[in-house]
Structure 1
């Protein structure tokens, strides 16, 4: 008697598609939806194309997401044209048990935070590898004004972190806002709210990639057993 083969585990890409599709339930028909940036969000944008005639459009957190939305025929509004959003849907590089996140691996953290601040609810979509006990394992992205980069790196060094300038093709990566990004390793962020408040006050910091003041209300986590919904 042969034993039936167990189904092969879903790939990370398939998990992202699963949560991208699941996020559609949080999109309010007739309204404008806040859309983040990154590979998981790309899956959500692709799924959103199936209901583009039932929404007014989107506010996007990056040039890349804007282009993807427009290619599907979804109107994109400037954040200045919108007073509020019912929901903002975005991924995370890390999310903890309280809904606090580290974001910015895709270099869009400042615009992500701006759009998240417009929204009544942040829905995080991620695969289960992003769920952590404490933030800091993923290198923390910090968008900085270039002339302050070394000064800010020294301040992180004093806290035990090692900050390196993010490069692209051998040159400093330039964000959609014309700034640079430091990636900081070696941190363990036990109090994300206080940490975000403090680092955002350092001269030259545009945005730190800790999302504690704009935390997730819901996380749709892609797991081997399907989508796990976590409320915070």
Structure 2
């Protein structure tokens, strides 16, 4: 079975559990969504796949925000581009969060956007023209660099993101944008951890 391995605290717990299954003899391979996850998987003895034809059987990851339609904001951990590639290549995409990540509308916190370093200020100007405020993650002097060698601009959308699909399209029209942290209509199931135990929410439920 081919499993997409997410990034972040929740995804790390899943990867560690998968490592225990591999140690017991389960035939599983992993597609890591970040260098950090790849290093963890290798340490746990999970065979790693970074190139493939076809689809990943299942991907499991966390999220920063989840709306009632199971649209997500991801990327505050910095791995949004590879996380989206893994999710898009998967037959099933399952997200695991706690109740604090559930929101009525996306945009409660920042929306990460990965951009090319070359002429990034002009990219930032075009993004700001969409009516958002933004900052360079890490600051201009010591910016955060993604696994792909790019920068992340953290966008604040006043009033939230009423239409994630439409806003995502507008973001991708901006030259210099590599990818954004809106995951729209990609999630099959969200598993929510709470005081009464985990609850699974399927798309359209």
What TM-score, normalized to structure 1? 0.82
> Is 1:69 the equivalent of 2:41?
yes
Deviation of 1:212 after TM superposition, in Å, equals 0.6
- Corresponding residue of 2:12: 42
CA contact (8 A) 1:49 1:72 kept: yes
CA contact (8 A) 1:149 1:182 kept: no
SS in 1 for 2:87: helix
Cα distance, 1:82–1:36 mapped onto 2, change above 3 Å: farther
Cα distance, 1:168–1:202 mapped onto 2, change above 3 Å: closer
Q: How does 1:116-195 map to 2 (within 5 A)?
A: 116-167=87-138, 171-187=142-158, 188-195=160-167
How many equivalent pairs are there? 200
RMSD of aligned residue pairs (Cα, Å) = 1.6
Greater fraction helix: 1
Distance 2:140 2:117 in 1: 18
CA contact (8 A) 2:78 2:146 kept: yes
> Is 1:226 the equivalent of 2:197?
yes
Residue from 103, 107, 110 that aligns with 2:78:
107
Residue from 3, 7, 26 that aligns with 1:54:
26
Distance 2:85 2:27 in 1: 21
Deviation of 1:68 after TM superposition, in Å, equals 0.6
Deviation of 1:157 after TM superposition, in Å, equals 2.7
What TM-score, normalized to structure 2? 0.92
Deviation of 1:82 after TM superposition, in Å, equals 4.1
